[in-house]
Structure 1
Amino acid sequence: MTVAFLVYRFVMGAAALLASPVAMAAADPAPRFEKAACAIPVAADEKIECGVLIVPEHRGKKGSRTIRLPVMILRSTASSPAPDPVVYLPGGPGLSSIDGRTTGKGNPFLAERDQILLEGRGNKFAQPSLACPELNALRAAGAGDGEQLAAAARCRKTLVAAGVDLDGYSSAEAADDLDDLRRLLGIRHWNLIGFSYGTRLAQTVLARHPDGVRSVVLDSVLPIDINYDEVAAAPLRRALNLVFDGCESDPACTARHPDLRGRFAAAVARADREGTAGPGGRLLRGRDIVDALAIGLQQPQNIPALPKIIDELAAGRAGGLAPWLQPQRSEFNWGLRLSIWCGEEMPFEDPARMAAQASPALGLGGANGRTATPELCAAWKVKAADPIANVATRTDVPVLILAGEFDPVTPPAWGRRLLRTMPNARFVLIPGQVHGAMFNRCGGQLTIAFLRDPNAPLNADCVAKLTGPIFPE
């Protein structure tokens, strides 16, 4: 035999060995989609198809185990649906994509195209789920930082003991999940709709997999390059100031509620100094008042009532806060929330600036709007993300940015910020709206029109007709 022939036999034999079932079994498993029963009950008389996306838990780690992510496909009612479905990315991080999605009735997207929902890795119906029920209960009960810290440590220990690789739960991995699903379903392009944290995930998809995206709608933007916990108090202060300014510019409102800004400050200071009697005999401090008003600001219909409620607070009466002082059930999947936040936000934030956001000197009674603390992330112990996770996304994909005028969580300026790196983006401010600018008739009309043709001129007549909040006579 010649040397050349021996080399040929060796190469071919090695190739056959690499292709053998034994060798392939040792390789990392390829992502796959399987049809399956729906993870939640759905309407039997509707065209809803379900399955599961099976992907590696941590693509960056060789030999990673697989995880299972439920998928729902709500089929369009159109006779000839558009070929590009819409994918909704919820807020959080830590909110389920499919929880409560039992029907497609009333879903405006289905009149023209399918809608696809992928349960995010680690979320409520995923396998595994990173739920921390004890931490949820403690937060709903207003437990102290020490109790929450201990509960987080216990939850982490339980998850790790079950084999969970917490470093695998990131926006980058979730973006890769979405693109794997798109390819496995044979979809060339689709449209993303992100809300709150979902806008951050959409920006990550645009950075990693732009070729699969036809258009994007970003509602209540969380920019990738904003260090949220360093400025957590600013959005709420801005929204409250808009209420004060709105009343002051209305002659009837300012006559009934003079110096509303000063009266608010006095109410918070009084509660901190001596307490304010609340419903059910509860003694309210300044932080309790501000937290309740922050909840009230989540619904636009509450805004006109705020001047009267603040006036009453200044007089020592807190009855108007009653609907917002009820224990707030924590819907977040805290294990996933901490894995993402502690890996992608905390490593790039300044602890001193973060601590300042809970200072009583801001006039908010020490209200704490931060998502996490350095202590909580130290207990969670996840690896810091690559610095690219904190760099603004640049893209030429058509983007519609929607912002609510009174948003107390993600201010409109954050949406405008994206215009610097997204030349095909358009920004629309929805008067009178709050966090979730799309969830009203005008926002919905703009979204549907944009999806129909992302490059067409946008008719914003409905915006021009919105009056914003009207304070009662």
Structure 2
Amino acid sequence: MIWKYRFRFGLIPFAIMASTAGNAFGAKRVEPRFERAECAVKVAPGERIECGLLFVPENRRKVRSRTISLPVMIFRSTASAPAADPVVYLPGGPGLSSIDGRTTGKGNPFLAERDQILLEGRGNKFARPSLGCPEINELRAANAMPAAQTSAVTRCRAVLVASGIDLDGYTSAEAADDLDDLRLALGIRQWNLIGFSYGTRLAQTVLQRHPEGVRSVVLDSVLPIDVNYDETAASSLRRAIDALLDACSVDPVCDVRYPDLRVRLAALVADADRTGVPLPGRVLRGRDIVEAVGAGLQQPGVIPALPGIISAAAGGRLTGLLPLTQQVASSFNWGLRLSIWCGEEMPFEKTTRMTAQISPALGLGGTDNRTATPEMCAAWRVSAPDAQANDPVKSDVPVLILAGEFDPVTPPAWGRRLLLTMPNARFVQVPGQSHGAMFNRCGGQVTLAFLRDPHASLNGDCIAKMAGIVFGIGEDVTKLGQ
């Protein structure tokens, strides 16, 4: 029986099924559809949050592909007359959930003017099926040897394939089509995309495939489609560390208080590689030191304290550094992560350039920031992309590009790169910020103003007034980084 459910976006049909779980994995392909359903995560009572499931083919390139289900959350605006174009947030990764922990709309600045919609990405935590590989998460957190990680990849693939999952269906292109299918199902003419990190790559894919449905795009910490990430993964961290050391060297207070910081950090890393830094139950190597500094660079509140943390560690006082060395298992959904990366990135990357990223010549203790290795992708075995899949995106849609000054993952130059093929894009570098340049007062203000009128000139007053990094004086280095 077909019923009608009235959304603010129009009158749309949805089917009330006796058992959606059975249909989600049937052999017969079903056209994309949205059905109202309970929220996949527990939400705060009394809030205007509506949920449902989007049913789409697992692999649109196959006629008889089975149907999968993706949870949807719609956070209703608090405005009396909300804007007709909602905002859709696309998280980083690939392999991070869109809805995990999204229990309330309180404190969400977007809801003051428009609705926000979240679609759980195919293969992610709450999607059915989910492509979790927990063993890989544990091995990555433990910095396990590459051979052990590759073996875990082989085992996870075997389990997922045996369950009937078509790994070739988990791509950025399919995810972009999911988003547009949801837009059409909800009767929305256009919406605004906000992508963070890998989410910027997905947003670019939507611009390639479905530009007619996009009013504007905010790209925070950009991963351009045509950049081969693994060929520069450690170099990006090296750039951010050098930016920090350069900023300290030209700051009168920092330079006097922590002289020769570049030389002392290099010596600390070299000494850790040579003899190790013993801790209870653990020995720190140069890679651990560098990764700790990299972790600090991703926390804007910690960045001003990093010179003091580094100086103290070089002098044998590790209290400030230790909290940054703690390894926590990532929440990445590794099956999805590998399907996307091995099918879209690895085929275009040069193994020799990737290998150079773990070279001691970079002075990073052999830090390995690559998303995956060629051996892992060889074990995962997904189809190769089209030859044009690595081409830069060309778009006339209004785009706001945000970059953090000290981002160790996606350097600001990657954001500027998009200006070459996006004539209606504007680039803003946020002083003192890192990966996630939007997540501060000024970045948020610029984003909200852009959404109100994507064609208007940007008001850069708050950016101009930002002090950027202000190195602290009189810190207690025993508390730095905590």
TM-score by length of 2: 0.91
Q: Which residue of 1 aligns with 2:340?
A: 340
Structure 1 residue 397 corresponds to structure 2 residue 394: no
Q: Which residue of 1 aligns with 2:14?
A: none
Q: Structure 1 stretches (4+) deviating beyond 6 angstroms?
A: none
Q: Which residue of 2 aligns with 1:464?
A: 464
Structure 1 residue 268 corresponds to structure 2 residue 264: no
- Rounded to whole Å, the distance in 1 between the matches of 2:272 and 2:359 is 15
Q: AA paired with 1:309? A: I
SS of the aligned residue for 1:233 comes to helix
CA contact (8 A) 1:277 1:318 kept: no
Structure 1 residue 437 corresponds to structure 2 residue 406: no
- Greater Rg, structure 1 or structure 2? 1
> Deviation string for 1:50-80 (max 9, x for gaps)?
0000000000012000000000000111111
Q: Which residue of 1 aligns with 2:371?
A: 371
Match runs of 1:14-33 below 5 Å: 28-33=29-34
Q: AA paired with 2:453? A: D
Match runs of 1:350-389 below 5 Å: 350-389=350-389
- Rounded to whole Å, the distance in 1 between the matches of 2:389 and 2:467 is 39
Q: Give the superposition deviation at 1:235.
A: 1.3
- Rounded to whole Å, the distance in 1 between the matches of 2:356 and 2:143 is 21
Q: Which residue of 2 aligns with 1:235?
A: 236
Q: 297-306 or 419-428: which moved more?
A: 297-306
Q: Which residue of 1 aligns with 2:138?
A: 137
- Rounded to whole Å, the distance in 1 between the matches of 2:365 and 2:386 is 36
- The structure where helix makes up a greater share of residues is 1
Q: Give the superposition deviation at 1:312.
A: 2.3
SS of the aligned residue for 1:300 comes to coil
Structure 1 residue 244 corresponds to structure 2 residue 222: no
Match runs of 1:292-311 below 5 Å: 292-311=292-311
CA contact (8 A) 1:276 1:317 kept: no
Q: Which residue of 1 aligns with 2:318?
A: 318
Q: Which residue of 1 aligns with 2:15?
A: none
Q: Give the superposition deviation at 1:197.
A: 0.1
Q: 306-315 or 40-49: which moved more?
A: 306-315
> Deviation string for 1:116-136 (max 9, x for gaps)?
000000000000000001111
> Deviation string for 1:425-467 (max 9, x for gaps)?
0000000000000000000000110000100111110001111
Q: 1:315 to 1:133 in 2, by over 3 A?
A: same
SS of the aligned residue for 1:401 comes to strand
- Rounded to whole Å, the distance in 1 between the matches of 2:81 and 2:261 is 55
Q: Give the superposition deviation at 1:288.
A: 0.7
Q: Which residue of 2 aligns with 1:447?
A: 447
Q: 1:107 to 1:26 in 2, by over 3 A?
A: closer
- Rounded to whole Å, the distance in 2 between the matches of 1:148 and 1:176 is 31
Q: 64-73 or 309-318: which moved more?
A: 309-318
Q: Which residue of 2 aligns with 1:17?
A: none
Q: Which residue of 2 aligns with 1:93?
A: 94
Q: AA paired with 1:446? A: V
> Deviation string for 1:115-158 (max 9, x for gaps)?
00000000000000000011112222232222211111111000
Q: 1:27 to 1:330 in 2, by over 3 A?
A: closer
- Rounded to whole Å, the distance in 1 between the matches of 2:327 and 2:224 is 30
Q: Give the superposition deviation at 1:199.
A: 0.1
Q: Which residue of 1 aligns with 2:65?
A: 64
Q: Give the superposition deviation at 1:32.
A: 0.6
- Rounded to whole Å, the distance in 1 between the matches of 2:255 and 2:96 is 40
Structure 1 residue 331 corresponds to structure 2 residue 331: yes
Match runs of 1:407-426 below 5 Å: 407-426=407-426
Q: Give the superposition deviation at 1:27.
A: 7.1
Alignment RMSD = 1.2
CA contact (8 A) 1:277 1:316 kept: no
Q: AA paired with 1:230? A: E
Q: 268-277 or 217-226: which moved more?
A: 268-277
Q: 301-310 or 431-440: which moved more?
A: 301-310
CA contact (8 A) 2:29 2:67 kept: no
Q: Give the superposition deviation at 1:281.
A: 5.5
Q: Which residue of 2 aligns with 1:83?
A: 84
Q: AA paired with 1:373? A: T
Q: AA paired with 2:138? A: A
Q: Which residue of 2 aligns with 1:9?
A: none
CA contact (8 A) 1:73 1:114 kept: yes
Q: AA paired with 1:95? A: L
Structure 1 residue 195 corresponds to structure 2 residue 159: no
- Rounded to whole Å, the distance in 1 between the matches of 2:219 and 2:253 is 37
Structure 2: 5+ residue runs without aligned partners?
1-25, 474-482
> Deviation string for 1:71-98 (max 9, x for gaps)?
0000111111100000000000000000
- Rounded to whole Å, the distance in 2 between the matches of 1:26 and 1:288 is 48
CA contact (8 A) 1:28 1:62 kept: yes
- Rounded to whole Å, the distance in 1 between the matches of 2:94 and 2:84 is 29
Q: Give the superposition deviation at 1:366.
A: 0.2
Q: Give the superposition deviation at 1:250.
A: 1.2
CA contact (8 A) 2:91 2:197 kept: yes
- Rounded to whole Å, the distance in 2 between the matches of 1:101 and 1:451 is 22
Q: Give the superposition deviation at 1:234.
A: 1.4
CA contact (8 A) 1:276 1:316 kept: no
Q: Give the superposition deviation at 1:317.
A: 3.2
> Deviation string for 1:397-444 (max 9, x for gaps)?
000000000001000000000000000000000000000000000000
TM-score by length of 1: 0.93
- Rounded to whole Å, the distance in 2 between the matches of 1:459 and 1:79 is 26
Q: 379-388 or 407-416: which moved more?
A: 379-388
CA contact (8 A) 1:276 1:318 kept: no
Q: Which residue of 2 aligns with 1:20?
A: none
Q: AA paired with 1:210? A: P
Q: 154-163 or 27-36: which moved more?
A: 27-36
Give the number of equivalent residue pairs: 448
Q: AA paired with 1:156? A: R
- Rounded to whole Å, the distance in 1 between the matches of 2:364 and 2:283 is 17
Q: AA paired with 2:380? A: W
Q: Give the superposition deviation at 1:252.
A: 1.9
Q: AA paired with 1:179? A: D
